[in-house]
Structure formats: structure tokens, C-alpha cells
Structure 1
């Protein structure tokens, strides 16, 4: 079997996560985060739509990490994002991190809004 190293060019992959934190491109951040291909910021949770809507033109899909277990995102949150033209995929945060990295490596226009595990 041949393994190829993934190169992200200027993109910022999610390197890891743990209780209450995420590590993105080598930078550890406490609490919930919003990860874009080339930037990282704190995220205020489901009530913080403005930070996501501000970058709506730059992303096609948002992966919402709901923490250690999968949970439903509030309907109003999902509806507002879909009306802005953003596809929303909700999953547990570990799965959201992995999925984000795979699509990021393909050069896709993705973002991840992650609640800590």
C-alpha cells in the first residue's frame, strides 16, 4: 500500500481536539471555533450566525460539530444558513473535523463550526 502525504498549501487543517479545545494548523484554541480554509476564530455557538453569514460568499458547505455526540442544530440556525446559500451538515465534532479536513485537502470551499467535546 502506498500512502501519500496530504498538502494543504495555504489552508489550515484541524490537527486535533480534546476536552474543551481544538488545534488548528498548530494553534490551540479553547472553546467553540469557526474554522475556514485560511482563518480561525472563536464561535459563539448557535446564536452566533453573524460570524458565519459574514463569510457566506466564501463557503459552500458548513460542517456543524455538535460536541461529543451528534445532536440537531436549531431549525432557525439551519434555515438562516440555507437561505444564505450555505449547505449545512450536522455531525459530532470529531466527525466534522475529519470531514472538513478531507474536503479541505480537495480544495473545496468548506467551513466548520465546532462545539468542543
Structure 2
């Protein structure tokens, strides 16, 4: 069997998570986070769409982690993102983190916004 080393270009993978935190690229972040082509930052959640809208034209898909369980995101936020041309995939944060890591390793143009579990 041949093993291949996974590389992630400029963005960092999600390495772990737990109650109220995420570990991304070797750093621990408390609370909600946004990670993608510009690095990782604390995200103020659904009431702060500006950082998400700034990704328009730079990514193909934004994965939205809704916490421990899958939930709907606010309709107004989804509408804003779709009108800006940002594709949105909503799932529970653990699934969003795994999906993000796989597509990141493929060199896809993606970002990830997650609420803590």
C-alpha cells in the first residue's frame, strides 16, 4: 500500500473540537469560528454575515456547522449568501469539519463557519 501525504496549501485543517472550542492549524479557538483562504478567526455567528459575504467570488462553497445537531440557518442569512453567489451547505459542526478537511485536501475553494458543539 502506498500512503500519500496530505497538504493543505494556505488554509488550515480542523484538527479537533470539543465543548465550546475548535483546534485549527495547531491553535485553539473558543466559540464560533470562520476558517478558509484568509486563515481562521473568531466568528460572531449568524448575526455577523459580513465576514461570510466577503468570501463571495473567492470560494465555491461555504460549509456551515450548526453545532452538535443539524439545524436550519436563518432564512435572511441564507438569502444574503445565495444572492452574493456563495453556495451554502448546512450540517452539524462535526460533519462540517470532516467534509471541510476532505475537500481542503483536494485543493477546493471552500470555507467553514461553525458554531461550537
What's the TM-score, normalizing by structure 1?
0.94
Is the aligned partner of 1:92 residue 2:92? yes
What CA distance in whole angstroms lies between the structure 2 residues aligned with 1:31 and 1:5?
30
- Residue of structure 2 equivalent to 1:17: 17
- Residue of structure 2 equivalent to 1:36: 36
Q: How many residues end up aligned between the 2 structures?
A: 117
Contact 1:61 1:88 in 2 (8 A): yes
Structure 2: give runs of 5+ residues left out of the alignment: none
User: Deviating runs (4+, > 6 A) in structure 1?
Assistant: none
Q: Which moved more, 1:2-11 or 1:15-24?
A: 2-11
1:44 positional shift: 0.8
